[in-house]
Amino acid sequence: MPRWTPGDTLVLATHNPGKVREIEDLLRPFAVPVVAAGALGLPEPEETGLTFIANAELKARAAAEGSGKPSLADDS
- Cα distance between residue 32 and residue 23, in whole Å: 11
Active site residue 75: yes
66 membership: H or E segment, kind and range = helix 52-67
- Cα distance between residue 54 and residue 13, in whole Å: 13
Catalytic residue, candidates 8, 25, 74, 75: 75
Show which residues are catalytic.
75
